[in-house]
Amino acid sequence: MKISPLIISIAIVPLSLLATDLNTIASLNDELITTEQMATQTNQNIDYQPFILSVWEQKDLIPFGVHTLKDALTLIPGIDMMADTTNNRTPVIRGSNPLAYGQTKLAIDGVVLNDRTFDSYNSYLDYPIELIQRIEVVRGSGSFIEGVNGYSGTINVITYAKDEDKGQNGAVFGSFGSDSYKQAGFWYTRRTADWRLSGDLFYQSNDATSPIKVTDAYQNPPGYAPLNSSQIGVGLSYTYDDFYLKGRFNHFTAGSAFGNLNALPNMEGEQAIPSWYIESGYTFNLTDTLALHVKAGIMEDGWESDARSLPSGTYNGIYFPNGYWATLDFNTRLLYGTISTTYTGIKNHTIVAGISQKYEDVINISSKTTERVNGGTQIIDYTTTAPFIDAGASCRHTNEIYINDTMDINDKLAFSLNLGGTKASDVGFSPYMRGSLIYQPYRQHILKLMVGNSYRLPSFQEMHTINNPARIGNPDLTPEKVTSYETQYLYKPTVDTTLGINLFYLQNEDQITPNTTSKIYQNIGERTIRGLESEFRGSLTDNDIIFLSYSYIRGKTVKGTEQTDYLPYASSHLLKVGVSYALSPQINGAIVGRYNSEKERRPNDVRKNSMDSFASYDLILGWEDINGFYVQGALKNANNAIYRYISPPATYADDYPVEGRTFWIRTGWKF
């Protein structure tokens, strides 16, 4: 089977548009003469995307005990998780600057949800899998989402609010488990010939603490870190012909984890990450070959903390008899708009071009803490005299342009070229490009060659943090830059079985990291990363689903005058495996295992030992009947290994322990 023009043209549009009319597919693909062949062709479109791409459907994730978006991401090759003392979690792809945020972009139904404060999306990592229809992960620079240019990767989540599948109208679900975990939610979609209205609502909470006691940077008595959280989310989506309006509210509250100033906080300390957005858009089909797309939106998010940042004692020569207390609020607003076109009037070309504008600003800040000079117990309002972030400078006006062309060179070969650039008011112009060659000599074999570059703009925290002894912002930062070279070979013996291997070489420059002694953020990091990722997903029998992946990275780093011939804070070896087996038409069992090799530290760390390797396995058993009722139980990390996030120098004596053995049981009804 040859590559058809339809397959290649799809290579630059979002995967959420792959529900193409099968009659159209049939008319453009003479080789597809049966219904089964048409289904095969539609499924294979995923493999022709000009990226290193992993796609998981919900129906394939649930048998492996995936409960949240974070659980799903841990199954993807090359992805590890990191966090700071506040347990602000972030996926790290291929070991790229593990201690920074913004390396990856998260979009839900096409809306990018990275916040302005940290450039992270921690509050969405616990998003329930019941609301997700499909997850698409690009590893490497670039993105399949129009106008989005990820630095080390892009995560696109498609919910049932956007999915066109009329086989399911809704679901109700709930679960409970260890650490007093509880969850409840639902989603529902109403469809007619012209419009679709969807909504979802969920609530979840837990009382988790660190699985073992820890000792903070000040050698205070060991204690447990509060890792509890609660979350409520609401989403609405309406479409009418070529018009859409959608919005989402998400309020995530968590314990103060390991503290804001590298000290173990009080157990009642809390931090909140509130966010919401509204976006609307319309498509004008001007001719048969030209379409105009417009969209605009508003988004607000922030960070709020109320905790004892230091226990009672003397710190930096100041005595705090009741400890150092801080109530901090920070909220930002984003206004954005995009105009783009899609043109297919040139034979064998699909051209997409667009321009977007964004305006980001601080709309609220409050800083009230224990008196900082003389200590004591008095609470002082420092909002105007000594805020924790420079609110006046924390604003950004951004313009971006982009153009993308995919060309069918012949029946076996296609080329995709993406060019663009961003000019922000507080940093210089940053161009990017990406070229991809896709070659299919035979039906079962696909070869990709890709080269490109990308960047990451510094966050407000990195540029404008002030009056904080643990980190200091630098308004003169420039964007991080990456140049990538990638190749991938895919072998598909059947529709549902894929074996892939990819090689990559990355050059990261101007990476943003705090100076070890001054704590000031600087562009002093460089990483050269080389590695491979291999992945198998498929079935050996009619009753099983198997996935197996192995990832390897190695390289060298430069941080100021310090150099290493390894990658600090990154595992060189990641192994992930899962087997799901249908014990009967209604009962399914699975086992999932993962292994992270040890993580080496920077040479200036007084702790010369590496962080230990980690290995665990999960056991899952589930039941579902033909009417959509289901029950599933999972024992996570059954061997009770302690999973940790590595701690940088001068923070904690221990690495941050965040996960031990847990369990949950969930039930629901799909209708």
What does the pLDDT read at residue 516?
76
State pLDDT tens for residues 514-569: 887 888 999 998 999 999 999 999 998 999 999 999 999 999 999 888 899 999 99
Residue 37 host element (H or E): helix 35-44
What does the pLDDT read at residue 5?
38
What does the pLDDT read at residue 163?
59
What does the pLDDT read at residue 317?
87
Q: Are 171 and 671 within 8 A, CB to CB? A: yes
3-state DSSP of 179-243? CCEEEEEEEEEEECCCEEEEEEEEEEEECCECCCCECCCCCCCCECCECCEEEEEEEEEEEECCE
The owner of tokens 């006046």 is 392
The domain over range 5-670 is classified in CATH as 2.40.170.20:
yes
What does the pLDDT read at residue 39?
32
Provide the whole-model pTM. Answer: 0.90
Structure tokens at 70: 């974070």
User: What are the domain boundaries of the chain?
Assistant: 5-670
What does the pLDDT read at residue 164?
61
**Nearest CA to 277 among 464, 455, 116?**
116
DSSP 3-state assignment of 344?
coil
Q: Residues with Cβ < 8 Å from 175, sequence gap 6 or more?
A: 67, 181, 182, 183, 664, 665, 666, 667
Low-confidence residues of the chain, pLDDT below 50?
1-44
What does the pLDDT read at residue 165?
60
Rounded to whole angstroms, the Cα distance separating 499 from 491 reads 5
